[in-house]
Structure 1
Amino acid sequence: MRNKKILQVHPSDNVLVALSDLKAGERIDISGSTVDLAEDISAKHKFAIHEIAKDELIFMYGTVVGRALTNIAAGQAITIENVIHHSLDFSADKKTTHWNSLDVSKWENKFFLGYHRENGSVGTMNVWLVVSLVFCENRNVELVREALENELGYGPKKEYGLNIKPLVKLYKGGADVTKILASDIASDANGVGDSRVFNNVDGVKFLTHNAGCGGTRQDAEAFCALLAGYITHPNVAGATVLSLGCQNAEEKILMEYIHKYDPGFDKPLYILEQQNSASEKEYIIDAVKKTFCGLIEANKFERKPAPLNKLVLGVECGGSDGFSGISANPALGHASDILVSLNGSVVLAEFPELNGVEQELINRCIHEKDAAKFIDLMKTYNKRAKDSGSGFEANPSPGNIKDGLITDAMKSAGAAKKGGTSPVVEVLDYTEQVTKPGLSLLCTPGNDVESTTGLAGSGANVIVFTTGLGTPTGNPIAPTIKASSNTALFQRMNDIIDFNAGTIISGEDSIESKGEELIDYIIKVASGDEIPKSVQLGQDDFIPWKRGISL
């Protein structure tokens, strides 16, 4: 039930969502009765429909999202002072729920323009990777970047045209801080323009990190598996890998995973070992020349029509707010259901943000082995978090809490909406590859960059990232679309956000109509007709997960 001021997400909920700022004393009509507000309620926050006794469970989205710490009066705000995280136990006893696919006739004859690979996969981008196999090689990756990026036309656009020469001049002339702060250092923005040498290559991506050695041997193996997922990814034409030679992340482990993920692997791949080189200079020259030759091969690929079932959609949320679970996430969920109905693939990650909705997802697992695997991954993850003095309940960030997400279960119930309603066809551990059409669950942390890094590493060739507070995260190989949960954010941070789901909150659009609009936008991005802001701004975030506790 909703009106312009409030929303009851599910009939069994005992809290309402404020869609706009509400004042103490306001009378709210709800299902034939009234609630007098006991205090001011900020937009995005929740308040009790009726009196809730201490230890009584709090319901939202039709599921348990917390437990009352004190008696809560009707019309009183739900806060971290009166509610604590609580979720229900789960098991594999229940049966898979039946699901009717959507009517997707309007998309059945549509296609996207992608890069067809020999193994049958299709890329939505065509990029070359230059990556270090160990953090010791990060500087050398930067030296290769320095030699290639601008000359090939892939240098970053000077987005704001900042020039500090006037500041230097003022300082040398004896200006004080007040005068310096008042000066103008912005000129016309400029960049590389249309000077690309290789018109069919969307970019050369230079990946640096802190992995590859130290830590555990399992960390090194997981990192090799992640890199293999990137190198075999349909959006990647080939790669240059810089190795020191003595690190835990060995070339042979990388190659084992490459051939595991793509048995017929035939992309250009150059692995250079510094400890076998004549000098660092010769090593860098060799890397630059081989990369250039690889780009010649990569440039031979052109976009060609591909069916929509070749899309692998990664769904992600970050900087979430109290509107995320009722606008952007369910709209993305509807788009996900459309793609699944077209026999495409969708990947839902961030396991700490599925706490409290485990039973729903277990019920949706087609295979018992996947339900058991999901239970094991969730319980093991949460136990490790508790053993370190934390737990899933510590997941909400200060920003989440400030904007209405006060428990992990509340956050999770809204976050899970990104995965739509279709059955779960497979449960994947970190770095395992998507191999089936339908909805898969992928074990990643809730950390935005670690999670998007994992989504791309498991095969997502496009990512939609919903946000309520705004975040500039992107990915080097998978175009990442940003969708806002509210219109104010979309207007304020339009330079980094592509899609506005806030019209659901204002009542201008339904979840279904917005989901349809989003799938059409995804198709345009997959075809290269629309370039997401994260790609335009070069937000190539890459953080491998070391399997430690990261919420």
Structure 2
Amino acid sequence: MRQQILKIHPKDNVWVALQDIPAGTTVEGITALRDVAAKHKLTETFIAKGSPIIMYGVLVGIANEDLAAGELITTQNIRHASGSFSVKEERHTGWDVPDVTRWKDRTFMGYHRSDGRVGTGNYWVIIPLVFCENRNVQTLHKVLVNELGYRKHNPYEEMLQQLLGSQPGVAAPLKGRTFANIDGIKLLSHTLGCGGTKDDARTLCGLLAGYITHPNVAGATVLSLGCQNAQVDMLKEEIEKRVPGFDRTVICLEQQKVGSEKMLMEQALQLTFEGLVKANQQERQPAPLSKLTIGMECGGSDGFSGISANPAVGRVSDIIVALGGSVILSEFPELCGVEQELSDRCVTTDLAARYTQLMRDYASRAEAVGSGFDSNPSAGNIRDGLITDAIKSAGAAKKGGSSPVTDVIDYPGRVERPGLALLCTPGSDVESTTAEVGAGANIVLFTTGLGTPTGNPVTPVLKLATNSKLAQKMQDIIDLDTGTIINGEESIHDAADHIMELVIDTASGLYNAKAQTLEQDDFIPWKRGVSL
């Protein structure tokens, strides 16, 4: 018989409903006082007004009123609360090191770069250094994609032709790709580059440099207007900072120097074509799994995220770290309440101090505009059981596994060493995913309970459903179902093994993530203000 409720941690005083529990039903000695929908929580024992609500073994809320045993917890009867944290001298870096015998000799087929990194793809990127160039980069991108065989058939064009009664469909047969070893030509348009502060310009250039030097990027065409704050020299400085002596092709053209738009576009097209010819010479070669850098992301989370997909991804995190690879855990507003654990896991007190200071600074900026971390849960999160930020955060942190924290990176920094890195980003899905890829993630594992179609232009984003209902309902965006854990069909370890196999196939170009198939090329830089 399928388990009906779950106590996540021995210290918890609330249980999670794994399926709908009708009022009056007694399960594990607890009688539900009202209907409890799957994913929501009910109290184990009487909890007095003002007393703590504990989940995952940590403080996640405070009771607003006396709560009888078996009571459903809601946004009305509890409120957000999280524990205090500080930097302690004692380090807690012991961890559950997984047996990686199955994986240690496995490889993926990737693109080897001269800086030692390995790409899971080989993309050319076209970038405006300022929003004024968006139209020009869009025109250049459209011409290259259409004429070099990268344009994908759009089923809605054929549907429209059928509605109009025209036969055959309007879409002509796809041309073969001109460049077999270029996986795509991608556009990174944005709304920044001028206005704002000089720090905004430097941050944008840092992020764009992260993409240009990314192992999945074969080369780049950058169009600049010329008078904006984000200057070409600033971008080149950021590139050199990340990869000294960077040797992949980067074409930078400035419209105010070149002259007419026609001259600019002709030069851009000519030079980009020459760059593509050169980049096409590189082919996939075997690489150890230690060359993987995995970004851990969640979006549209639900009450099952912290007990299915996130811990399964956390197990993958530990496997990658044990193999010598790198993992990125971001979304700082969604680490609220687990700061002490993560601080204690930092390998040095200096790293712990850096992490805690970034968290405090972020929280202070949010509070200064009247929107603390407690505002983070979305309407969908709350509707599906994540009723405080601390509940959401305690489950989200499971994506980071149990390994020591080897680095703490401020946005828009880059992963420089193996192990688990904490990257300061918003909880906003696309801003955070954009930042993780800018930091070097060559695969992103994205867990979702409600369904989120987010992707990235240059890095595959694999969607893992936290529940089987979602996986069945939104098959076009979900790559793997971890609802099997909730259903009792497999363990967290088994699910992690399935995710690992999918990661290897994706990294080798044998599997296209659903987000890639849908051309979900989301790219939103974080303008360093308050975003939760």
TM over 0.5: yes
| Alignment equivalent of 2:116, drawn from 116, 120, 126 | 120
Structure 1 match to 2:290: 309
| Alignment equivalent of 1:91, drawn from 86, 105, 126 | 86
Q: Distance in 2 between matches of 1:230 and 1:191?
A: 33
Q: Which is further off, 280-289 or 446-455? A: 280-289
Say if 1:188 and 1:18 are closer, same or farther in 2 by CA, change over 3 A.
farther
How far is 1:278 from its partner?
Answer: 2.8
User: Which aligned pairs between 1:63-142 and structure 2 lie closer than 5 A?
Assistant: 63-93=58-88, 95-97=90-92, 98-142=94-138
Query: Is 1:39 aligned to 2:20, yes or no?
Result: no
User: Which aligned pairs between 1:7-26 and structure 2 lie closer than 5 A?
Assistant: 7-26=6-25
Query: Is 1:282 aligned to 2:278, yes or no?
Result: no
Amino acid at match of 1:83: I
Q: Distance in 1 between matches of 2:333 and 2:172?
A: 40
Q: Distance in 2 between matches of 1:534 and 1:263?
A: 33
Say if 1:40 and 1:140 are closer, same or farther in 2 by CA, change over 3 A.
same
- Asked whether the 8 Å contact 1:64–1:87 carries over to 2, the reply is yes
Matched position secondary structure for 1:150: helix
Say if 1:192 and 1:517 are closer, same or farther in 2 by CA, change over 3 A.
farther
Q: Which runs of 4+ in 1 moved over 3 A?
A: 159-169, 185-194
Structure 1 match to 2:502: 521
Q: Distance in 1 between matches of 2:172 and 2:368?
A: 50
Say if 1:526 and 1:54 are closer, same or farther in 2 by CA, change over 3 A.
same
Q: Provide structure 1 residue ranges, at least 5 long, that are not aligned to the other structure.
A: 170-184
Query: Is 1:51 aligned to 2:46, yes or no?
Result: yes
Amino acid at match of 2:79: I
Q: TM-score, normalised on structure 1?
A: 0.94
How far is 1:160 from its partner?
Answer: 4.1
Structure 2 match to 1:387: 368
Structure 1 match to 2:418: 437
Structure 1 match to 2:146: 150
Q: Distance in 2 between matches of 1:424 and 1:539?
A: 31
Q: Distance in 1 between matches of 2:64 and 2:324?
A: 46
User: Which aligned pairs between 1:489-528 and structure 2 lie closer than 5 A?
Assistant: 489-528=470-509
* CA offsets 1:124-168 (integer angstroms, 9 cap, x no match): 000000010001110111110221111111113314445445667
Q: Distance in 1 between matches of 2:281 and 2:344?
A: 46
Matched position secondary structure for 2:47: coil
Matched position secondary structure for 1:149: helix
| Alignment equivalent of 1:410, drawn from 391, 396, 416 | 391
User: Which aligned pairs between 1:356-371 and structure 2 lie closer than 5 A?
Assistant: 356-371=337-352
How far is 1:95 from its partner?
Answer: 2.0
Q: Distance in 2 between matches of 1:278 and 1:484?
A: 51
- Asked whether the 8 Å contact 1:160–1:188 carries over to 2, the reply is no
Say if 1:538 and 1:189 are closer, same or farther in 2 by CA, change over 3 A.
farther
Q: Distance in 2 between matches of 1:186 and 1:253?
A: 53
Q: Distance in 2 between matches of 1:408 and 1:61?
A: 13
- Asked whether the 8 Å contact 1:156–1:191 carries over to 2, the reply is no
Amino acid at match of 1:458: A
| Alignment equivalent of 1:474, drawn from 436, 455, 461 | 455
Amino acid at match of 2:492: I
| Alignment equivalent of 1:254, drawn from 235, 244, 247 | 235
Structure 2 match to 1:323: 304
- Asked whether the 8 Å contact 1:229–1:258 carries over to 2, the reply is yes
Q: Which is further off, 186-195 or 63-72? A: 186-195
How far is 1:276 from its partner?
Answer: 1.3
- Asked whether the 8 Å contact 1:119–1:264 carries over to 2, the reply is no
Q: Distance in 1 between matches of 2:460 and 2:72?
A: 39
Q: Distance in 1 between matches of 2:67 and 2:15?
A: 13
Query: Is 1:208 aligned to 2:204, yes or no?
Result: no
- Asked whether the 8 Å contact 2:161–2:167 carries over to 1, the reply is no
- Asked whether the 8 Å contact 1:156–1:537 carries over to 2, the reply is no
Query: Is 1:198 aligned to 2:179, yes or no?
Result: yes
Q: Distance in 2 between matches of 1:421 and 1:268?
A: 39
Structure 2 match to 1:174: none
Q: TM-score, normalised on structure 2?
A: 0.97
| Alignment equivalent of 2:220, drawn from 230, 235, 239 | 239
Amino acid at match of 1:139: R
Q: Distance in 2 between matches of 1:331 and 1:187?
A: 47
Structure 1 match to 2:446: 465
How far is 1:520 from its partner?
Answer: 1.4
* CA offsets 1:43-92 (integer angstroms, 9 cap, x no match): 00001011111111001111111111111111111100001100010001
Q: Distance in 1 between matches of 2:453 and 2:84?
A: 36
How far is 1:306 from its partner?
Answer: 0.4
Amino acid at match of 1:63: V
Amino acid at match of 1:122: V
Quote the sequence identity (%). 54
How far is 1:279 from its partner?
Answer: 1.0
Matched position secondary structure for 2:478: coil
How far is 1:280 from its partner?
Answer: 0.6
Matched position secondary structure for 2:421: strand
Aligned-residue CA RMSD (Å): 1.7
Amino acid at match of 1:518: I
- Asked whether the 8 Å contact 2:477–2:515 carries over to 1, the reply is yes
- Asked whether the 8 Å contact 1:308–1:342 carries over to 2, the reply is yes
How far is 1:99 from its partner?
Answer: 2.2
| Alignment equivalent of 2:314, drawn from 310, 333, 348 | 333
Q: Provide structure 2 residue ranges, at least 5 long, that are not aligned to the other structure.
A: none
How far is 1:347 from its partner?
Answer: 0.4
Matched position secondary structure for 1:538: coil
- Asked whether the 8 Å contact 2:122–2:218 carries over to 1, the reply is yes
Amino acid at match of 2:273: F
Structure 2 match to 1:177: none
Aligned residues: 531
